[in-house]
Structure 1
Amino acid sequence: MSKPILFWRRTDLEGCERLELVIEPDQIRATSTLVCLEAGGFRLDHSWRLSSDWRVQTVTVERWNDREHGRLELLKNGSSWLVNGKPRPDLDGAEEPDLSVTPFCNTFPIRRTSESYGASLTLDTAFIDGPALTVARSRQRYERQGPGRLRYVDLGLSLGFEADLTVDHQGLVLRYEHLFERMTPVA
Protein backbone atom coordinates (compact mmCIF):
# COMPACT_ATOMS: atom_id res chain seq x y z
CA MET A 1 0.00 0.00 0.00
CA SER A 2 1.20 3.49 -0.90
CA LYS A 3 0.05 6.66 0.94
CA PRO A 4 1.49 9.77 -0.72
CA ILE A 5 0.45 13.22 0.49
CA LEU A 6 0.41 15.97 -2.14
CA PHE A 7 0.18 19.74 -1.85
CA TRP A 8 -0.78 22.20 -4.57
CA ARG A 9 -1.03 25.96 -4.54
CA ARG A 10 -3.14 28.10 -6.82
CA THR A 11 -1.13 30.37 -9.09
CA ASP A 12 -4.05 32.52 -10.29
CA LEU A 13 -5.25 33.53 -6.80
CA GLU A 14 -4.64 32.69 -3.13
CA GLY A 15 -5.38 29.09 -2.25
CA CYS A 16 -3.80 25.74 -1.40
CA GLU A 17 -4.74 22.07 -1.20
CA ARG A 18 -3.59 19.02 0.79
CA LEU A 19 -4.51 15.64 -0.73
CA GLU A 20 -3.85 12.22 0.75
CA LEU A 21 -3.85 9.24 -1.61
CA VAL A 22 -4.22 5.64 -0.47
CA ILE A 23 -3.25 3.27 -3.27
CA GLU A 24 -4.15 -0.36 -2.60
CA PRO A 25 -4.12 -3.33 -4.99
CA ASP A 26 -7.92 -3.31 -5.45
CA GLN A 27 -8.83 0.38 -5.03
CA ILE A 28 -7.59 3.95 -4.72
CA ARG A 29 -8.96 6.48 -2.26
CA ALA A 30 -8.20 10.17 -2.02
CA THR A 31 -9.21 12.74 0.57
CA SER A 32 -8.44 16.41 0.31
CA THR A 33 -9.02 19.78 1.90
CA LEU A 34 -8.47 23.05 0.13
CA VAL A 35 -8.87 26.64 1.16
CA CYS A 36 -9.34 29.34 -1.46
CA LEU A 37 -10.10 33.07 -1.52
CA GLU A 38 -12.11 32.73 -4.76
CA ALA A 39 -15.89 33.37 -4.56
CA GLY A 40 -15.66 35.19 -1.23
CA GLY A 41 -13.44 32.53 0.35
CA PHE A 42 -14.33 28.93 1.12
CA ARG A 43 -13.07 25.59 2.39
CA LEU A 44 -13.78 22.57 0.23
CA ASP A 45 -13.29 18.92 1.17
CA HIS A 46 -13.44 16.24 -1.49
CA SER A 47 -13.12 12.47 -1.25
CA TRP A 48 -12.80 9.99 -4.08
CA ARG A 49 -13.11 6.22 -4.45
CA LEU A 50 -11.53 4.85 -7.61
CA SER A 51 -11.05 1.42 -9.12
CA SER A 52 -7.52 0.03 -9.30
CA ASP A 53 -7.26 1.33 -12.90
CA TRP A 54 -7.95 4.94 -11.73
CA ARG A 55 -11.60 5.14 -12.82
CA VAL A 56 -13.86 7.14 -10.51
CA GLN A 57 -16.58 5.23 -8.68
CA THR A 58 -17.71 8.02 -6.31
CA VAL A 59 -16.77 11.57 -5.43
CA THR A 60 -18.16 13.61 -2.54
CA VAL A 61 -17.60 17.36 -2.34
CA GLU A 62 -18.39 19.50 0.71
CA ARG A 63 -18.06 23.29 0.71
CA TRP A 64 -18.12 25.73 3.62
CA ASN A 65 -18.15 29.51 3.38
CA ASP A 66 -19.27 32.29 5.72
CA ARG A 67 -22.94 31.73 4.88
CA GLU A 68 -23.54 28.05 4.30
CA HIS A 69 -22.46 24.45 4.02
CA GLY A 70 -23.19 22.47 0.86
CA ARG A 71 -22.65 18.84 -0.15
CA LEU A 72 -22.63 17.09 -3.53
CA GLU A 73 -22.14 13.40 -4.33
CA LEU A 74 -21.60 11.73 -7.70
CA LEU A 75 -21.90 7.97 -7.96
CA LYS A 76 -21.02 5.94 -11.07
CA ASN A 77 -23.88 3.66 -12.09
CA GLY A 78 -22.78 1.72 -15.18
CA SER A 79 -22.30 4.40 -17.86
CA SER A 80 -24.55 6.82 -15.96
CA TRP A 81 -24.11 9.10 -12.95
CA LEU A 82 -26.29 9.68 -9.92
CA VAL A 83 -26.01 13.18 -8.45
CA ASN A 84 -27.12 13.31 -4.82
CA GLY A 85 -28.86 9.97 -5.38
CA LYS A 86 -30.85 11.10 -8.44
CA PRO A 87 -30.23 10.01 -12.06
CA ARG A 88 -28.76 12.68 -14.34
CA PRO A 89 -29.43 11.51 -17.93
CA ASP A 90 -27.58 14.58 -19.27
CA LEU A 91 -24.39 13.05 -17.86
CA ASP A 92 -24.87 9.58 -19.43
CA GLY A 93 -21.62 8.48 -21.05
CA ALA A 94 -19.49 11.11 -19.28
CA GLU A 95 -16.32 9.23 -18.47
CA GLU A 96 -15.07 11.01 -15.34
CA PRO A 97 -15.91 13.84 -12.96
CA ASP A 98 -13.76 16.96 -13.27
CA LEU A 99 -13.70 19.13 -10.13
CA SER A 100 -12.83 22.74 -10.99
CA VAL A 101 -10.71 23.57 -7.94
CA THR A 102 -8.13 20.73 -8.04
CA PRO A 103 -5.64 19.30 -10.54
CA PHE A 104 -6.09 15.82 -9.03
CA CYS A 105 -8.93 14.83 -11.39
CA ASN A 106 -6.78 15.55 -14.46
CA THR A 107 -4.84 12.42 -13.49
CA PHE A 108 -7.63 10.07 -14.65
CA PRO A 109 -7.59 11.02 -18.36
CA ILE A 110 -3.83 11.71 -18.30
CA ARG A 111 -3.19 8.09 -17.28
CA ARG A 112 -5.31 6.91 -20.24
CA THR A 113 -3.59 9.14 -22.81
CA SER A 114 -1.04 7.13 -24.79
CA GLU A 115 2.62 7.92 -24.03
CA SER A 116 3.32 8.39 -27.76
CA TYR A 117 4.18 11.95 -28.79
CA GLY A 118 1.17 13.54 -30.49
CA ALA A 119 -1.34 11.08 -29.02
CA SER A 120 -4.58 12.58 -27.77
CA LEU A 121 -7.63 11.63 -25.75
CA THR A 122 -10.97 13.42 -26.01
CA LEU A 123 -13.64 12.73 -23.40
CA ASP A 124 -16.84 14.03 -21.88
CA THR A 125 -16.77 14.83 -18.17
CA ALA A 126 -19.21 15.56 -15.39
CA PHE A 127 -17.78 19.00 -14.62
CA ILE A 128 -18.22 20.03 -10.97
CA ASP A 129 -18.04 23.76 -10.24
CA GLY A 130 -16.55 23.60 -6.73
CA PRO A 131 -17.62 27.01 -5.40
CA ALA A 132 -21.17 26.67 -6.80
CA LEU A 133 -21.57 22.89 -6.19
CA THR A 134 -23.18 22.39 -9.60
CA VAL A 135 -22.60 19.65 -12.18
CA ALA A 136 -22.77 19.99 -15.97
CA ARG A 137 -21.55 17.94 -18.91
CA SER A 138 -18.39 19.25 -20.59
CA ARG A 139 -15.82 18.05 -23.13
CA GLN A 140 -12.03 18.18 -23.01
CA ARG A 141 -8.95 16.89 -24.82
CA TYR A 142 -5.48 15.91 -23.64
CA GLU A 143 -2.62 16.04 -26.16
CA ARG A 144 0.70 14.33 -25.41
CA GLN A 145 3.58 16.81 -25.92
CA GLY A 146 6.38 14.51 -24.72
CA PRO A 147 7.36 12.54 -21.61
CA GLY A 148 5.54 14.03 -18.62
CA ARG A 149 4.06 16.86 -20.71
CA LEU A 150 0.52 17.31 -22.02
CA ARG A 151 -1.68 20.06 -23.38
CA TYR A 152 -5.19 20.44 -21.95
CA VAL A 153 -7.82 21.82 -24.34
CA ASP A 154 -11.32 22.68 -23.13
CA LEU A 155 -13.94 21.87 -25.77
CA GLY A 156 -16.98 22.48 -23.57
CA LEU A 157 -17.99 24.89 -20.82
CA SER A 158 -14.73 26.89 -20.98
CA LEU A 159 -14.32 26.60 -24.75
CA GLY A 160 -11.01 28.07 -25.84
CA PHE A 161 -9.16 27.56 -22.55
CA GLU A 162 -5.86 25.72 -23.02
CA ALA A 163 -3.00 24.96 -20.65
CA ASP A 164 0.27 23.03 -20.59
CA LEU A 165 0.56 20.38 -17.87
CA THR A 166 3.67 18.79 -16.43
CA VAL A 167 3.10 15.50 -14.60
CA ASP A 168 5.07 12.98 -12.56
CA HIS A 169 5.52 9.26 -13.35
CA GLN A 170 2.01 8.49 -11.96
CA GLY A 171 0.30 11.16 -14.06
CA LEU A 172 -0.21 13.46 -11.06
CA VAL A 173 0.10 17.15 -11.91
CA LEU A 174 3.31 18.97 -11.00
CA ARG A 175 2.38 22.16 -12.83
CA TYR A 176 -0.87 23.23 -14.51
CA GLU A 177 -0.23 26.40 -16.50
CA HIS A 178 -2.21 29.40 -15.23
CA LEU A 179 -3.75 27.54 -12.25
CA PHE A 180 -1.76 25.13 -10.03
CA GLU A 181 1.69 23.99 -9.02
CA ARG A 182 2.75 21.25 -6.68
CA MET A 183 4.57 22.24 -3.51
CA THR A 184 6.98 20.32 -1.32
CA PRO A 185 6.45 20.69 2.44
CA VAL A 186 9.36 22.10 4.45
CA ALA A 187 10.71 19.69 7.06
Structure 2
Amino acid sequence: MEKSVLFWRRTDIEGFERLTLSVGAESVTASSTVLCLEDGGFRLDHHWRLDATWSAQSVAVERWNGRDHRRLTLERVPGGWTVDGLRRPDLDGADEPDLSVTPFCNTFPIRRTPETSGASLTLDTAFIDGPAMMVHRSRQRYDRQGPGRVRYVDLGNSIGFEADIRVDERGLVVVYEHLFERVAPPE
Protein backbone atom coordinates (compact mmCIF):
# COMPACT_ATOMS: atom_id res chain seq x y z
CA MET A 1 0.00 0.00 0.00
CA GLU A 2 1.44 3.34 -1.09
CA LYS A 3 0.61 6.17 1.32
CA SER A 4 1.08 9.89 0.86
CA VAL A 5 -0.07 13.15 2.39
CA LEU A 6 -1.05 16.09 0.18
CA PHE A 7 -1.74 19.72 1.08
CA TRP A 8 -3.64 22.28 -0.98
CA ARG A 9 -4.08 25.99 -0.35
CA ARG A 10 -7.07 27.90 -1.68
CA THR A 11 -6.03 30.78 -3.91
CA ASP A 12 -9.40 32.52 -4.15
CA ILE A 13 -10.24 32.68 -0.41
CA GLU A 14 -8.60 31.70 2.89
CA GLY A 15 -8.61 27.93 3.07
CA PHE A 16 -6.39 24.89 3.44
CA GLU A 17 -6.67 21.11 3.00
CA ARG A 18 -4.71 18.09 4.26
CA LEU A 19 -5.44 14.79 2.50
CA THR A 20 -4.08 11.33 3.32
CA LEU A 21 -4.10 9.05 0.29
CA SER A 22 -3.65 5.25 0.34
CA VAL A 23 -3.28 3.46 -2.99
CA GLY A 24 -3.37 -0.33 -3.06
CA ALA A 25 -3.69 -2.98 -5.75
CA GLU A 26 -7.43 -3.44 -5.11
CA SER A 27 -8.58 -0.02 -3.90
CA VAL A 28 -7.82 3.62 -3.17
CA THR A 29 -8.89 5.45 -0.01
CA ALA A 30 -8.52 9.06 1.01
CA SER A 31 -9.34 11.03 4.16
CA SER A 32 -9.13 14.79 4.35
CA THR A 33 -9.84 17.85 6.43
CA VAL A 34 -10.63 21.22 4.85
CA LEU A 35 -10.57 24.42 6.88
CA CYS A 36 -12.06 27.46 5.20
CA LEU A 37 -13.14 30.99 6.14
CA GLU A 38 -15.82 31.06 3.41
CA ASP A 39 -19.48 31.09 4.50
CA GLY A 40 -18.68 32.14 8.07
CA GLY A 41 -15.84 29.63 8.43
CA PHE A 42 -16.18 25.86 8.44
CA ARG A 43 -14.38 22.57 8.84
CA LEU A 44 -15.23 19.81 6.41
CA ASP A 45 -13.96 16.23 6.58
CA HIS A 46 -14.34 13.90 3.61
CA HIS A 47 -13.56 10.19 3.31
CA TRP A 48 -13.39 8.45 -0.06
CA ARG A 49 -13.49 4.81 -1.12
CA LEU A 50 -12.49 4.15 -4.74
CA ASP A 51 -11.91 1.00 -6.74
CA ALA A 52 -8.58 0.10 -8.35
CA THR A 53 -9.44 2.18 -11.45
CA TRP A 54 -9.92 5.32 -9.30
CA SER A 55 -13.69 5.29 -9.77
CA ALA A 56 -15.42 6.59 -6.63
CA GLN A 57 -17.61 4.08 -4.82
CA SER A 58 -18.53 6.32 -1.90
CA VAL A 59 -17.75 9.57 -0.15
CA ALA A 60 -18.76 10.55 3.38
CA VAL A 61 -18.75 14.27 4.12
CA GLU A 62 -19.05 15.91 7.54
CA ARG A 63 -19.21 19.68 8.00
CA TRP A 64 -19.03 21.90 11.09
CA ASN A 65 -20.00 25.57 10.85
CA GLY A 66 -20.43 27.21 14.26
CA ARG A 67 -23.18 25.21 15.97
CA ASP A 68 -24.31 23.63 12.72
CA HIS A 69 -23.06 20.07 12.16
CA ARG A 70 -24.14 18.11 9.08
CA ARG A 71 -23.30 14.74 7.54
CA LEU A 72 -23.82 13.40 4.05
CA THR A 73 -22.94 10.07 2.43
CA LEU A 74 -23.00 9.55 -1.32
CA GLU A 75 -22.72 5.95 -2.46
CA ARG A 76 -22.64 4.26 -5.86
CA VAL A 77 -25.28 1.52 -6.19
CA PRO A 78 -26.29 -0.57 -9.21
CA GLY A 79 -27.74 1.87 -11.73
CA GLY A 80 -27.08 5.06 -9.80
CA TRP A 81 -26.45 6.71 -6.43
CA THR A 82 -27.86 7.01 -2.93
CA VAL A 83 -27.57 10.03 -0.67
CA ASP A 84 -27.76 9.12 3.01
CA GLY A 85 -29.11 5.71 2.02
CA LEU A 86 -31.96 7.07 -0.14
CA ARG A 87 -31.99 6.37 -3.86
CA ARG A 88 -31.55 9.53 -5.98
CA PRO A 89 -32.88 8.87 -9.51
CA ASP A 90 -31.91 12.43 -10.51
CA LEU A 91 -28.27 11.31 -10.19
CA ASP A 92 -28.67 8.22 -12.42
CA GLY A 93 -25.97 8.28 -15.08
CA ALA A 94 -23.66 10.54 -13.08
CA ASP A 95 -20.16 9.18 -13.62
CA GLU A 96 -18.39 10.48 -10.50
CA PRO A 97 -18.89 12.67 -7.44
CA ASP A 98 -17.44 16.17 -7.40
CA LEU A 99 -17.00 17.82 -4.00
CA SER A 100 -16.75 21.61 -4.34
CA VAL A 101 -14.12 22.25 -1.65
CA THR A 102 -11.34 19.95 -2.90
CA PRO A 103 -9.36 19.39 -6.10
CA PHE A 104 -8.93 15.69 -5.20
CA CYS A 105 -12.06 14.52 -7.05
CA ASN A 106 -10.86 16.13 -10.32
CA THR A 107 -8.29 13.33 -10.41
CA PHE A 108 -10.92 10.70 -11.25
CA PRO A 109 -11.95 12.15 -14.64
CA ILE A 110 -8.46 13.51 -15.38
CA ARG A 111 -7.05 9.97 -15.12
CA ARG A 112 -9.65 8.84 -17.70
CA THR A 113 -9.12 11.73 -20.13
CA PRO A 114 -7.10 10.38 -23.10
CA GLU A 115 -3.44 11.48 -23.04
CA THR A 116 -3.51 12.80 -26.62
CA SER A 117 -3.39 16.61 -26.83
CA GLY A 118 -6.80 17.87 -27.91
CA ALA A 119 -8.68 14.85 -26.52
CA SER A 120 -11.72 15.52 -24.31
CA LEU A 121 -13.84 13.76 -21.73
CA THR A 122 -17.36 15.00 -20.95
CA LEU A 123 -19.16 13.57 -17.95
CA ASP A 124 -21.99 14.12 -15.53
CA THR A 125 -21.19 14.37 -11.84
CA ALA A 126 -23.04 14.08 -8.58
CA PHE A 127 -21.95 17.55 -7.46
CA ILE A 128 -21.70 18.06 -3.69
CA ASP A 129 -21.84 21.69 -2.58
CA GLY A 130 -19.64 21.40 0.53
CA PRO A 131 -20.74 24.55 2.38
CA ALA A 132 -24.46 23.91 1.67
CA MET A 133 -24.21 20.08 1.99
CA MET A 134 -26.48 19.57 -1.01
CA VAL A 135 -26.09 17.16 -3.95
CA HIS A 136 -27.27 17.73 -7.50
CA ARG A 137 -26.27 16.67 -10.99
CA SER A 138 -23.83 18.74 -13.03
CA ARG A 139 -21.94 18.38 -16.32
CA GLN A 140 -18.21 18.95 -16.90
CA ARG A 141 -15.62 18.61 -19.66
CA TYR A 142 -11.89 17.97 -19.41
CA ASP A 143 -9.78 18.94 -22.44
CA ARG A 144 -6.25 17.50 -22.61
CA GLN A 145 -3.78 20.29 -23.42
CA GLY A 146 -0.60 18.25 -23.18
CA PRO A 147 1.31 16.10 -20.71
CA GLY A 148 0.20 16.98 -17.18
CA ARG A 149 -2.18 19.72 -18.37
CA VAL A 150 -5.94 19.78 -18.82
CA ARG A 151 -8.58 22.47 -19.19
CA TYR A 152 -11.67 22.16 -17.00
CA VAL A 153 -14.92 23.46 -18.54
CA ASP A 154 -18.09 23.63 -16.44
CA LEU A 155 -21.16 22.81 -18.50
CA GLY A 156 -23.61 22.66 -15.59
CA ASN A 157 -23.79 24.42 -12.22
CA SER A 158 -21.25 27.13 -13.00
CA ILE A 159 -21.62 27.22 -16.76
CA GLY A 160 -18.99 29.46 -18.27
CA PHE A 161 -16.36 28.69 -15.60
CA GLU A 162 -13.11 27.38 -17.08
CA ALA A 163 -9.72 26.72 -15.52
CA ASP A 164 -6.36 25.27 -16.50
CA ILE A 165 -5.23 22.41 -14.29
CA ARG A 166 -1.69 21.06 -13.92
CA VAL A 167 -1.32 17.55 -12.52
CA ASP A 168 1.48 15.26 -11.40
CA GLU A 169 2.26 11.82 -12.87
CA ARG A 170 -0.62 10.26 -10.84
CA GLY A 171 -3.16 12.78 -12.13
CA LEU A 172 -3.34 14.60 -8.79
CA VAL A 173 -3.82 18.36 -8.99
CA VAL A 174 -0.74 20.54 -8.57
CA VAL A 175 -2.36 23.84 -9.65
CA TYR A 176 -6.05 24.45 -10.34
CA GLU A 177 -6.25 27.93 -11.86
CA HIS A 178 -8.27 30.41 -9.76
CA LEU A 179 -8.88 27.94 -6.88
CA PHE A 180 -6.14 25.62 -5.54
CA GLU A 181 -2.41 25.06 -5.44
CA ARG A 182 -0.56 22.19 -3.86
CA VAL A 183 1.95 23.11 -1.19
CA ALA A 184 4.58 21.08 0.61
CA PRO A 185 5.37 21.33 4.31
CA PRO A 186 8.86 22.60 5.14
CA GLU A 187 11.38 19.82 5.62
Sort the TM-score into its range (normalised by shorter chain). Answer: over 0.9
2:74 and 2:65 map into 1 onto residues whose CA distance is: 21
State the match for 1:9 in structure 2: 9
1:10-159 matched pairs, under 5 angstroms: 10-159=10-159
1:79-135 CA-to-partner distances (Å, cap 9, x unmatched) read: 300000000000001000000000000000000000000000000000000000000
Partners in 2 of 1:64 and 1:100 — Cα distance?
16
Alignment correspondent of 1:160:
160
- 1:173 matched to 2:166? The reply is no
Query: How far does residue 171 in structure 1 lie from its aligned partner after superposition?
Result: 0.3
Partners of 1:44 and 1:86 in 2: CA distance: 22
Aligned equivalents of 1:185 and 1:111: distance in 2? 26
Q: Take 1:78 and 1:147, find their aligned partners in 2: how far apart are those partners?
A: 34
TM-score (norm 2): 0.99
Q: How far apart are the structure 1 equivalents of 2:92 and 2:65?
A: 31
Q: Percent identity?
A: 67
Between the aligned partners of 1:28 and 1:42, the Cα distance in structure 2 is: 26
Which stretches of structure 1, 4 residues or longer, exceed 4 Å deviation after superposition? none
Q: Deviations over 1:31-61 (max 9, x none)?
A: 0001000000000000000000000001000
Q: 2-side partners of 1:176 and 1:57: how far apart?
A: 24
Unaligned 5+ runs, structure 2? none
Structure 2 distance, partners of 1:132, 1:67, is 14
CA contact (8 A) 1:34 1:43 kept: yes
Deviation at 1:67, TM superposition (A): 2.2
How high is the TM-score relative to the length of structure 1? 0.99
Q: For residues 79 and 181 of structure 1, what CA distance do their matches in structure 2 show?
A: 35
Gapped regions of structure 1 (runs ≥ 5): none
Q: Which amino acid aligns with 1:32?
A: S
The RMSD of aligned alpha carbons is: 0.5
